[in-house]
Amino acid sequence: MFYQSLGFLVFGSRLRRLSEYFLMEVNKVYEQEGIPFDASWFPVFYVLSKKQPMPLIDIADTLEVSHSAVSQLVTSLRKKGLVKTAPCPEDGRRQLVALTKKGEELLQQVQPIWEAITTAMTELASAHKQSKLLLEGIAQVEQAVQQTPLSMRISARLPRRQPVNP
């Protein structure tokens, strides 16, 4: 109730809590199924399940995250033997990323879980009529803050301070 009473003041905190909860619950399923997979790896695995090899920068662009964040995750996955990287033939500065044989095997294990997640979440949303609007609402907020960043929206509503004279 505390968080709900604060409305938009804690919007980001509530989304982060919900996100952390979902990741924790999904990780429980991977663990229960004996699959050594972490939910935080999902975006890279999913992108590579659709096309590989793929330039690291294209993965970052697709996921709309920084090149650095993807690079760190790919480095971690490479150390675990799940992905491999190679210089791009057309541009040696770019790195191509692909799943290894071990990564492909892990992908085969996790895909049924991804399908079960989609089904379970669809059922959850269907059971609560307002939940159906959640994904659409999040998409609209994402679009709105891309057009005008939240920091600009907040600053525009702050009272103007008087300049300080020395």
Where along the chain do its domains lie?
A: 2-156
Whether 6 shows a pLDDT value over 70: the answer reads: yes
As a whole-number percent, the residues of the chain with pLDDT over 90 amount to 60
Q: Identify the burial level of 98 via C-beta atoms within 10 angstroms of its C-beta, where 0-12 means exposed, 13-18 middle and 19 or more buried.
A: middle
For 117-131, how does the pLDDT look when each residue is reduced to its tens digit (9 = 90+)? 999 988 888 887 787
Mean pLDDT score, 135-156: 88
Q: Is the dihedral of CA 27, 30, 33, 34 positive or negative?
A: negative
**For the residues of 53-89, what is the DSSP string, one character each?**
SEEHHHHHHHHTS-HHHHHHHHHHHHHTTSEEEEE-S
Q: Please tell me what DSSP assigns to residue 34.
A: T
Q: Single out the residue of 8, 88, 98 nearest to residue 50, CA to CA.
A: 98
Q: Confidence band (pLDDT; 50, 70, 90) for 26? A: very high
For 63-119, how does the pLDDT look when each residue is reduced to its tens digit (9 = 90+)? 999 999 999 999 999 999 999 999 988 887 889 999 999 999 999 999 999 999 999
For 39-51, how does the pLDDT look when each residue is reduced to its tens digit (9 = 90+)? 999 999 999 999 9
83, 77 contact by CB (below 8 A): yes
CATH architecture of 2-156: Orthogonal Bundle (1.10)
Contacts of 13 (CB under 8 A, 6+ apart): 3
Question: pTM score, two decimals?
Answer: 0.80
